[in-house]
Amino acid sequence: MPTDSSSNPTASSRLAPSPTGALHLGNARTFLVNWALAKTRGWRLVLRMEDLDGPRIKPGSEAEASELLAWMGLDWAGPPLTQSDDLSPYREAMQHLCDAGHVFPCALSRGEIKSAASAPQEGATDSAYPTSLRPETAGSSIAFLEEDHNYRFLVPDTTVVINDHFAGDHAFDLAGTTGDFVTWTRRATPAYQLSVVVDDIRQDVTDVVRGDDLLESAARQTLIYNALGHPPPRWWHLPLVLGPDGHRLAKRHGDTRLSAFRRLGMTAPRLIGLLATWCGCSSALQEMTMAEFLDAFDLDRIPRDPITFTEQEYAWLVSSS
Ligand code: GLU
């Protein structure tokens, strides 16, 4: 393992799968890099099951997710935190945000918001929430009473800059793109943006490593950190893995779930060998142990561009020799 001058034994990171039964090769690459960063820099690594992610969560997938991660050869400290076990930390955070006037209740449906959003600015998403729809009380201290109600975060009209340790500096104008985003849902559960911040704070996470599809979320989460009076973590957003057609790995590329490849005969050393090429630490497809991977791991060699999963790689992954 290369000696790393940036070793920081007080730092901590997390693996945060959503137990949907669909951990795929892209997730595996991010988790492996997260694990290797933790090992080479002396970080503590914890596991969190993000099972509040609504209808996509499949019963029983939690055990499957941790079994798959362990099968890959990943390890982590302590028992996993499962979000749905206790919603009180999220309620407390909401109470705080309500007290300080950072959130407001919103009963509008997605469709109503969309039709009210006239002349959206370039780059605006469907969910951009127009400021004209803010209630008059927005910005005032309110009670967090209606748990079966949407609450939105009052997004200031400022630029949020993310200094990402892998992806570099990125500036986000959230007021013009997402607008006031949801922190609590009418299903009486926290929205992803809130739960991830509350959990990273309570799990003492100092370093967040994940796919760069969540880079813009880092800006939203930074606003929540500021509102809760807590410094944001260091961010490390990695490029995604794409299918041969250049689109993000998804169902249209066939079954790219780890569980499916495993059923087809993929061994852990084959998987690690493929991921090693995607991390720039192996030039040819060859089986690799976790020890060999760690030895070759070097953050500076990870490609800056998205990875493409090719047909040849597919064939190699599931062939036995
Ligand atoms: N649970 C999320 C996912 O599997 C990751 C969220 C995060 O890392 O902040 O996509």
Average pLDDT, the chain: 90
Residues 220 and 161 in one domain: yes
CB 69 within 8 A of CB 17: yes
Residues 143 and 224 in one domain: yes
Show which of 207, 237, 267 is a domain's final residue.
237
Residues 97 and 59 in one domain: no
Q: Which atom of ligand 1 is nearest to the CA of 208?
A: 8
Q: How many residues does the chain have?
A: 321
CB 106 within 8 A of CB 138: no
Contacts of 121 (CB under 8 A, 6+ apart): 128, 176, 177
Show which of 237, 260, 293 is a domain's final residue.
237
Residue 247, pLDDT score: 85
Residues 195 and 292 in one domain: no
Residue 1, pLDDT score: 46
**Higher pLDDT among residues 193 and 116, named by residue:** 193
Query: Looking at residues 175-182, what average pLDDT do you find?
Result: 92
Cα-to-centroid distance, 22 and ligand 1 (Å): 13
Residue 307, phi then psi, degrees to nearest 5: -90, 145
Task: Please report how many Cα atoms fall inside a 13 Å half-sphere around the Cα of residue 247, on the Cβ side.
Answer: 6
Testing ligand 1's pocket by substitution, the residue of 53, 210, 234, 248 carrying the most ligand atoms inside 8 A of its CB is 210
Q: Which atom of ligand 1 is nearest to the CA of 50?
A: 1
Residue 122, pLDDT score: 39
CB 313 within 8 A of CB 256: no
Instruction: Copy the structure tokens of residue 208.
Output: 């967040």
Phi-psi region of 179 (alpha: psi -120 to 50; beta: other; left: phi over 0): left
Which of 8-12, 144-148, 160-164, 246-250 is predicted most confidently? Answer: 160-164
Residues 196 and 248 in one domain: no
Domains in the chain: how many in total?
2
pLDDT tens, 277-304?
A: 999 999 999 999 999 999 999 999 999 9
Instruction: Copy the structure tokens of residue 75.
Output: 């390890």
CB 307 within 8 A of CB 247: no
Residue 5 belongs to some domain of the structure: no
Task: Please report how many Cα atoms fall inside a 13 Å half-sphere around the Cα of residue 50, on the Cβ side.
Answer: 21
User: What pTM did the predictor assign?
Assistant: 0.92
Instruction: Using a pLDDT cut of 70, give the percent of the chain over it.
Output: 92
* Ligand 1-lining residues (CB < 6 angstroms): 16-18, 50, 196, 210, 214
Comparing 12-21, 117-126, 215-224, 308-317, the range with the smallest average pLDDT is: 117-126
Comparing 162-171, 177-186, 243-252, the range with the smallest average pLDDT is: 243-252
Residues 246 and 210 in one domain: no
Residues 312 and 187 in one domain: no
Residue 4 belongs to some domain of the structure: no
Cα-to-centroid distance, 238 and ligand 1 (Å): 13
Residues 285 and 171 in one domain: no
Residue 178 belongs to some domain of the structure: yes
Q: What is the CATH number of the domain that holds 165?
A: 3.40.50.620
Residue 32 domain boundaries = 12-85+239-318
Contacts of 199 (CB under 8 A, 6+ apart): 14, 16, 48, 81, 83, 89, 205
Residues 25 and 45 in one domain: yes
Three-state SS for 64? helix
Decide if pLDDT at 3 tops 90. Answer: no
Residue 25, pLDDT score: 92
Residue 81, pLDDT score: 96
